[in-house]
């Protein structure tokens, strides 16, 4: 019996690639196992966005060396670290059987046949085997609409690891959405590294047009997307969001820094003013929107004054959520040659101050739901307390609530919010 075990790091694109790998392997007669000791094939689907992610993979590979002595499992390294390091992974860990980059997920036959020990090409068609997707959620489907990235942010490894942008044809996306809905997936999340740069290669239709078309597919009760680039926010995208009640009132819009000087050095293609103007335009159309963002602190040459600009931008926008990271040098990126590194202790202090500010804004936002009845898409039992049900609001907050577990998964329920917790809301379903 051929069996496989797969471990996934990183972003949703990688999670989806794992679903594709898993589906593809099942189609080829493999059975998925949760215990790596029982696997004849072990896949590590890796991330290389920051150095930490990379270190974890190499320490895992050390453990797998021992396991392989006992089980003789085949070991494959996939994902962004695979793309970044290629042959060097095998040089460092010769017990790895193959290395395949994200462009090769659709080419399992060739890989498993041992035709490529190191597969790093980006075939134009990327061969999407959508029928073979092994979706892990019963209510939600991720759908890739664009792969790769044509931006050249100076800190970022993604253009190297995921290749140039390729959008999928509009009709192919719609077909996949309809097929997902037919299997009970009432929530669709469109994915891309720069999702809102989407443009149909055949008809030229843009992201706004695609959003509207997907929102209008019968049975799509909630539509989300990730990740948007601030310089690609178009009026058609804003109008589509405004005019379709089933498009989530949530927008992740990574700002990275509040200083125009730093943004220029990052090559983000917008200034502080332009970013704020974009936020204003979206808020004017959709006042209740929940904004979240990513911030990098300690980018080379970031001064106290630059950082204060980030603090003041965050104060002005009042993001509901934020992911903030210390700058991590990535191999081959232009930022390696820019400016003086920021002292690690200073970067840590900046990060702490930023989180404190952000916590206040999150708290304010979460507290504002207390006493209100909000629509919640029911996803299943709560992760931490099986007595409770769990779902998400329209603006992407997790709600844990008391209610009747017999209602079908994917139902839209009214929940009265009683309490704001650290990152989530708590309440009770109402009739
Ligand atoms: N160092 C730190 N953070 C990074 N990110 C991307 N590259 C780096 C890097 N070299 C962050 C950005 C991005 C998020 C996914 O990861 O904030 O939006």
Residues 47, 77 share a domain: yes
HSE, side-chain direction, 13 A CA sphere, residue 143: 32
H-assigned helices in 28-144: 51-71, 79-85, 87-92, 108-112
Residues 242, 218 share a domain: yes
> What value does the mean pLDDT of the chain take?
95
Residue of 294, 319, 348 to mutate, ligand 1, most atoms within 8 A of C-beta: 294
CATH code for the domain of 396: 2.40.50.140
Residue 276 belongs to some domain of the structure: no
Does residue 151 register a pLDDT over 80?
Answer: yes
Does the beta carbon of 256 sit less than 6 angstroms from any atom of ligand 1?
yes
**Nearest-CA residue for atom 7 of ligand 1:** 156
Residues 100, 21 share a domain: yes
* Pick from 320, 71, 182, 302: nearest CA to 310: 302
Residue of 156, 161, 232 to mutate, ligand 1, most atoms within 8 A of C-beta: 156
Residues 91, 16 share a domain: yes
Cβ-contact 156, 333 below 8 angstroms: yes
- Tell me, in angstroms, the distance from the centre of ligand 1 to residue 323's CA: 9
Cα–Cα distances (Å) from 379 to 74, 137, 140, 392, in that order, read 35, 9, 9, 8
How far is the first Cα of the chain from the last one, in angstroms, to the nearest whole number? 50
Does the beta carbon of 49 sit less than 6 angstroms from any atom of ligand 1?
yes
The pTM score is 0.96
pLDDT single digits (tens) 342-400: 999 999 999 999 999 999 999 999 999 999 999 999 999 998 888 999 999 999 999 99
Residues 98, 42 share a domain: yes
Domain boundary (328, 345, 367) is at: 367
Kind of pairing, strands 118-119 and 31-32?
A: unpaired
Higher pLDDT, 123 or 146: 146
Residues 194, 225 share a domain: yes
Does the beta carbon of 10 sit less than 6 angstroms from any atom of ligand 1?
no
Residue 255 belongs to some domain of the structure: no
Residues 202, 184 share a domain: yes
- Tell me, in angstroms, the distance from the centre of ligand 1 to residue 263's CA: 13
Q: Which helix (H) or strand (E) holds 366?
A: helix 344-367
pLDDT single digits (tens) 169-180: 999 999 999 999
What's the domain range around 288?
A: 281-367
Q: Which helix (H) or strand (E) holds 331?
A: none
Residue 294 belongs to some domain of the structure: yes
* d(C-alpha 303, C-alpha 322), whole Å: 21
Does the beta carbon of 50 sit less than 6 angstroms from any atom of ligand 1?
yes
CATH code for the domain of 77: 3.40.50.12160
pLDDT single digits (tens) 180-230: 999 999 999 999 999 999 999 999 999 999 999 999 999 999 999 999 999
pLDDT single digits (tens) 27-65: 999 999 999 999 999 999 999 999 988 889 999 999 999
Read off the tokens for 117.
């020990």
A 10 A CB-CB count for 329 gives: 12
Instruction: Report the pLDDT value the prediction gives residue 39, as an integer from 0 to 100.
Output: 98
pLDDT single digits (tens) 386-410: 899 999 999 999 999 999 989 999 9
**Nearest-CA residue for atom 17 of ligand 1:** 294
* d(C-alpha 44, C-alpha 74), whole Å: 11
Q: How many domains does the chain have?
A: 4
Does the beta carbon of 156 sit less than 6 angstroms from any atom of ligand 1?
yes
Cβ-contact 20, 51 below 8 angstroms: no
Does the beta carbon of 294 sit less than 6 angstroms from any atom of ligand 1?
yes
Residues 406, 363 share a domain: no
Residue 264 belongs to some domain of the structure: no
Residues 328, 285 share a domain: yes
Higher pLDDT, 123 or 327: 327
Does the beta carbon of 134 sit less than 6 angstroms from any atom of ligand 1?
no
Residues 292, 400 share a domain: no
**Nearest-CA residue for atom 6 of ligand 1:** 156
Residues 379, 362 share a domain: no
Cβ-contact 288, 393 below 8 angstroms: no
Instruction: Report the pLDDT value the prediction gives residue 129, as an integer from 0 to 100.
Output: 67
Atom of ligand 1 nearest to the CA of 256: 17
Residues 164, 90 share a domain: no
- Tell me, in angstroms, the distance from the centre of ligand 1 to residue 322's CA: 12
Does the beta carbon of 347 sit less than 6 angstroms from any atom of ligand 1?
no
Max Cα separation, the chain?
A: 62
Residue 268 belongs to some domain of the structure: no
Domain boundary (367, 393, 413) is at: 367
Instruction: Report the pLDDT value the prediction gives residue 70, as an integer from 0 to 100.
Output: 96
Residue 126 belongs to some domain of the structure: no
């Amino acid at each position: 019996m051929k069996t496989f075990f797969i471990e996934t790091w990183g972003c949703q694109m990688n999670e989806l690639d794992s679903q594709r790998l898993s589906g593809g392997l099942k189609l080829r007669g493999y059975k998925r196992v949760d215990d790596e000791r029982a696997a004849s094939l072990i896949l590590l689907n890796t991330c290389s966005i920051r150095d930490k992610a990379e270190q974890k993979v190499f320490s895992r590979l050390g453990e797998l060396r021992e396991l392989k002595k006992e089980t003789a499992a085949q070991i494959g390294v996939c994902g962004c670290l695979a793309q970044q390091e290629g042959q060097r992974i095998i040089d460092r860990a010769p017990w790895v059987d193959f290395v395949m980059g994200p462009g090769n997920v659709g080419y399992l036959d060739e890989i498993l046949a041992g035709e490529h020990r190191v597969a790093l090409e980006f075939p134009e068609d990327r061969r999407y085997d959508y029928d073979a997707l092994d979706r892990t959620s019963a209510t939600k489907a991720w759908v890739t609409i664009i792969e790769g990235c044509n931006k050249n942010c100076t800190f970022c490894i993604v253009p190297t690891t995921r290749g140039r942008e390729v959008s999928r044809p509009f009709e192919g996306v719609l077909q996949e959405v309809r097929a997902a809905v037919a299997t009970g997936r009432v929530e669709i999340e469109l994915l891309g590294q720069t999702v809102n740069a989407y443009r149909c290669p055949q008809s030229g239709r843009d992201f706004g047009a695609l959003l509207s078309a997907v929102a209008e597919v019968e049975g799509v009760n909630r539509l989300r997307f990730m990740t948007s680039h601030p310089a690609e926010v178009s009026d058609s995208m804003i109008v589509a969001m405004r005019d379709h009640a089933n498009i989530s009132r949530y927008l992740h819009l990574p700002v990275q820094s509040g200083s125009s000087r730093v943004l220029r050095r990052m090559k983000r293609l917008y200034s502080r003013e332009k970013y704020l103007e974009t936020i204003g335009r979206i808020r004017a159309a959709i006042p209740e929107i929940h904004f979240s963002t990513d911030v990098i602190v300690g980018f080379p040459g970031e001064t106290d004054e630059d950082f204060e600009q980030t603090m003041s931008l965050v104060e002005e926008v009042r993001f509901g959520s934020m992911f903030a990271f210390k700058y991590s040098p990535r191999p081959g990126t232009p930022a390696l040659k820019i400016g003086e590194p920021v002292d690690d202790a200073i970067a840590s202090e900046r990060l702490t101050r930023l989180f404190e500010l952000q916590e206040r804004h999150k708290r304010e936002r979460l507290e504002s739901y207390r006493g209100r009845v909000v629509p919640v898409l029911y996803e299943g039992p709560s992760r931490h307390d099986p007595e409770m049900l769990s779902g998400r609001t329209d603006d992407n907050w997790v709600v844990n609530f008391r209610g009747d577990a017999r209602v079908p998964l994917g139902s839209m329920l009214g929940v009265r919010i009683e309490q704001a917790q650290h990152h989530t809301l708590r309440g009770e379903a109402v009739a």
